[in-house]
Amino acid sequence: MTSLELATEASDQWISTQIKDWSPRWQENVSEWLQPSLALVGDAEWGGQFRDMVQLPIDDPLAWANRRVELSNGHWAIVGIRFRGQDIQKPFVDVIATSLLPTPHGIAALSEVLPHFTDFAPLCLRVNLPDPDRNLRILDQSAADAAHITPDLLIVGRPVKEMNEQVPADRYDDVTLVRYDPDQAAERVRAIYDELTQSRPDLGQWATPADAESLEDAAEQGLLFDIRVDGASAGILAAERDDAYGFTGFCMQEIALDSAYRGQQIGVAALQRLSRELPSTLDDVLWGHIHPDNGPSLRNAQASGRKVVTAHVWLTPPGYPGMPSR
């Protein structure tokens, strides 16, 4: 079997049961999602570009490339060095695929990966954990052989066809979506975040405003909108095609409301409007990343029927400092 076939086969236990129910072609989807990362295993050219961009004194380009690590128990892991928020003070090792299982024993065995990246002084590992509500309880009860496990980002989603079948929110008829310019949208989003930061000074730890580049991508797909309520501008909404985690679909890039329109189901109504604008196929999912501390966004997502299906979690074995919360 090729490395891609092996990684796809190994992913079976790491894909949420909900994703498998939503996406009959999940194995093909996973294979397409993994392929770019697997292509970078041992890629010295890419590693050199990564090194030159980050500018740390670690010369070997292969140290920067994704790599396959053989574990002492006969299993393997495909991993790569990363930096949270592009901050060189926050290095971690990303687990892309592994033959281990998402069990306490399997999670604990991943700690063998970290010594292979000693030059980078990684703080911890990051793993995509399926069905986190259940698996985090299991791992907490076992303590994963004393490793500390903390959720970083939740992946929440729902099939677009189900979004379109739900009962409209109370404010649905009051809300319309109008195409918007990405540069103006970026300024508007920054202003909303600046205002929010005054009442939530820790906002930047779990949510950052979408930049003009990502909003331009959404605009090119016709999925960048001014949210209007009774004709008045109320905020910004953006999404773009992004197939990941075993499903195909559209990723939320931004939803930001002015203070006068929060807590009124405007966000839910806007998401329902968006789902009808998406050029979706039968099995597409509307999904997004939400930090577990971002209560308003999580409540809004769940009110629109989206479910937590997987999560990025920090795995910190004994002897490692772990990812700081700030």
Output b/e per residue, 112-124; b: 16+ Cβ within 10 A.
Answer: bbbebbeebebbb
Q: What is the mean pLDDT of the chain?
A: 92
Q: What pTM was estimated for this model as a whole? A: 0.91
- Which tokens is 152 given? 């970083």
- Please spell the DSSP secondary structure of 220-247, one letter per residue: HTT-EEEEEETTEEEEEEEEEE--BTTB
Give me the percent of the chain exceeding a pLDDT of 90.
78
Number of residues in the chain: 326
- Which tokens is 175 given? 């809300």
Each residue of 265-300: pLDDT tens digit? 999 999 999 999 999 898 999 999 999 888 888 888
pLDDT of residue 204: 67
The residue-averaged pLDDT of 49-66 equals 97
For residue 97, with 0-12 CB atoms within 10 Å meaning exposed, 13-18 middle and 19 or more buried, which class applies? buried
